[in-house]
Amino acid sequence: MLIIEYAPNGFSEKFGPKLTRPDQLRCAWSDIVWAGLTVGRRNLRHVIRPDTYAYFEIVYRSTLLYTNLQAADYRPGLWGPLDTHIIQSPAFQELGSPEKSAISYFLSLTLTKLFVEKLLATPWLLHLDTYTQSLAQLPSPSPDLVGLGKNGKWLVAEAKGRSNWLSRRTLRRLKSRSQAFIAGQKPALLVGLASYFTAQNKILKAYLEDPPANTGSENPNLALTPKAYLITYYTLLFDLLQADYGGPPVFETYQDRTFRLKAIPEADLHIGLDEQIFQRLAGGDFSLERFMASRLRAPHIEATEQITVGSDGVYVSLGERWSPTRMHLSPPERVG
């Protein structure tokens, strides 16, 4: 398993030791890919055919992770077992500053999605730019991300990504956003996450902040509803699974649950959705109450080295190209 070291700050004791002192998040490559493929962000499906767009968006996001990250083993002390960390690949290190900045921001979105799922029971996370087509006007300032927890409560999040060390300026920017309201309600939590790489070994780490609300500015109000939010969250995957492009879906039974999957050979992965969720979305009578109840009843599935099933019901299975052995190599050496 991979280790991502993180330092939390400002969280109350009610969140427990995982968010009140430095710790490690253990995850698999399939967790990283799941987070990167499911964090909702602005897309071009209103410009490009949705079926074609969805397929190549999955290829694009997974390729960003595959080519720019790799694994490396380090011993935390003078003795003891080796820990496997995520580091920059040589391909990432050769990029120019603008490309590094764009990829670092995508990594911050990916880690925010992973951390709020693992530590805050918030499976659904969307970038607010997703709503530029449906909201008449985004209030300013607005948070980067809006999350919905399994308890039905809202979370807002800021994400910052850096290709090198974490600066004080970045930390100040995590604290600077105002407290957004969602449908007139104060969210249960405001989270800031900064992902960065250490100066010496280029190890990926994270800093989490529960910043105080900025009372010096007017709080923006986001006119979102849980039902519309969830339908938007699953749009990319629903487009992919119902499209003819890329071949028909396949069905997989995994730990007593049936998943509708699409093979993405260019990325050497399968991605899909719990069939019960797909049918609810396809039925046209999506009931928020029944959906949330079904998610609470769904048993938790522990990730393996190659398979992750998120609490959102999204299934990701990685092929041999993503094996732990190959991910220790630079991207050109993984072929074969």
Q: How confident is the model over 190-234, as pLDDT tens digits?
A: 899 999 999 989 999 999 998 776 655 566 677 788 998 898 899
Q: Is the dihedral of CA 274, 113, 10, 156 positive or negative?
A: negative
- What was the pLDDT predicted at 131? 58
Alpha-carbon dihedral angle through residues 129, 310, 306, 207, given to the nearest 10 degrees: 60
In the chain, what are the domain boundaries? 2-334
- 127 band by pLDDT with thresholds 50, 70 and 90: confident
Q: How confident is the model over 3-53, as pLDDT tens digits?
A: 999 999 989 999 999 999 999 999 999 999 999 999 976 554 444 456 688
- What was the pLDDT predicted at 53? 83
Residue with tokens 């730019």: 129
Q: How confident is the model over 171-195, as pLDDT tens digits?
A: 776 665 556 778 778 888 889 999 9
Residue 5's SS3 state is strand
Rounded to two decimals, the pTM is: 0.92
Phi first, then psi: give them for residue 195, nearest 5 degrees: -100, 145
Whether residue 141 has a cis bond before it, omega within 30° of 0: yes
Residue 159's SS3 state is strand
DSSP state of 203: B
Q: What is the distance between the alpha carbons of residues 125 and 116, in angstroms, rounded to a whole number?
A: 8
Mean local confidence (pLDDT), 227-247: 89
Out of 47-51, 166-170, 268-272, the most confident range is 268-272
Q: How confident is the model over 79-96, as pLDDT tens digits?
A: 767 899 999 999 999 999
How high is the mean pLDDT of the chain? 87
